[in-house]
A and B are shown apart, each in its own frame.
Chain A
Amino acid sequence: QVQLMQSGAEVKKPGSSVKVSCTASGGTFSTYAISWVRQAPGPGLEWMGGIIPLFGTPNYAQKFQGRVTITTDESTSTAYMELTSLTSEDTAVYYCARASDSGTYYYFDYWGQGTLVTVSS
């Protein structure tokens, strides 16, 4: 059974950065895309970007280009999402999610438990 375990909640100041980790277990890591999806307070899901560890080249939503960096460490089966220049509008729960098919980004069948990032002065 695939499990995605995310790092703990963070409180950040406006203008700072946050880095969230997502460690996979129980399945193949390198060929399945890991995406990051955030959920601001209230309903609504927003895809930020993703990466297939084997290929190493991330894809980002244009909205986050220049502010987000997604990386992986295959030796520990961990994906990372770093978001810079934080504002209060970045306050959200950040999820990592694994693609349902190898080599694609298509749909998400395994999700982490979510990491709450609060941006407040």
Chain B
Amino acid sequence: EIVLTQSPATLSLSPGERATLSCRASQSVDSYLAWYQQKPGQAPRLLIYDASNRATGIPARFSGSGSRTDFTLTISSLEPEDFAVYYCQQRFHWPPITFGQGTRLEIK
């Protein structure tokens, strides 16, 4: 089973700042990694798929990069609605499809 490790666990930033979130896989997942955003009381929302492709309707301030074992989600300039929990997910080695444990992005 592929283990995804996200860092940091919590990231405290202010609106307008740049956010950089990391996801590391226990073995290569090629580019088959996605990022999700989850707000309290809501289901997750797909942001990025195949490491760097934005999902439909996702603002351009969200970008993804990386391959094999190291991946990054970047939010170029934080908006108030961006403060949430972010998860990475791999689909290269499955079953099972696995998720990271999440990074909480909070307002500083």
A30 within 8 A of partner (CB): no
Cβ contacts under 8 Å, A46 to chain B: 99
Give the residue of A43, A59, A106, A112 whose beta carbon is less than 8 angstroms from that of B43: A112
Indicate with 1 or 0, residue by residue over B66-108, a CB within 8 angstroms of chain A CB atoms.
0000000000000000000101010100111111011010000
B interface residues, tally (CB under 8 Å): 24
Cβ contacts under 8 Å, A109 to chain B: 46, 55-56
- Is the CB–CB distance between A107 and B46 below 8 Å? yes
Question: In chain B between 24 and 51, which residues have their CB closer than 8 angstroms to a CB of chain A?
Answer: 32, 34, 36, 43-46, 49
Give the residue of A44, A59, A111, A114 whose beta carbon is less than 8 angstroms from that of B99: A44
A62 within 8 A of partner (CB): yes
- Is the CB–CB distance between A61 and B96 below 8 Å? yes
Decide if the interface of chain B is mainly helix, strand, loop or mixed: loop
Distance between Cα atoms of A68 and B97 in the complex (Å) = 16
Q: How large is the interface on A (under 10, 10 to 19, 20 to 34, 35 or more residues)?
A: 20 to 34
Distance between Cα atoms of A111 and B45 in the complex (Å) = 8
- Is the CB–CB distance between A45 and B43 below 8 Å? no
Kindly report which residue of chain A lies nearest to residue B35, judged by CB atoms: A107
Distance between Cα atoms of A27 and B94 in the complex (Å) = 26
- Is the CB–CB distance between B49 and A106 below 8 Å? yes
Distance between Cα atoms of A49 and B18 in the complex (Å) = 36
- Is the CB–CB distance between B95 and A49 below 8 Å? yes
Distance between Cα atoms of A100 and B94 in the complex (Å) = 16
Q: Other than A35-B97, A47-B98, A108-B46, give 16 A-B pairs with Cβ distance below 8 A.
A: A43-B101, A45-B44, A45-B89, A49-B95, A59-B94, A59-B95, A62-B1, A62-B96, A106-B49, A107-B46, A107-B49, A107-B89, A108-B89, A109-B46, A109-B56, A114-B43
Question: Interface of B with A (CB < 8 Å)?
Answer: 1, 32, 34, 36, 43-46, 49, 55-56, 85, 87, 89, 91, 94-99, 101-102, 104
Q: 28 pairs across A/B with beta carbons < 8 Å?
A: A43-B104, A44-B99, A44-B102, A45-B36, A45-B44, A45-B87, A46-B99, A47-B97, A47-B99, A59-B94, A59-B95, A60-B95, A61-B95, A63-B96, A95-B43, A100-B49, A105-B91, A105-B94, A105-B97, A106-B34, A107-B49, A107-B91, A108-B44, A108-B46, A108-B89, A109-B46, A109-B55, A109-B56
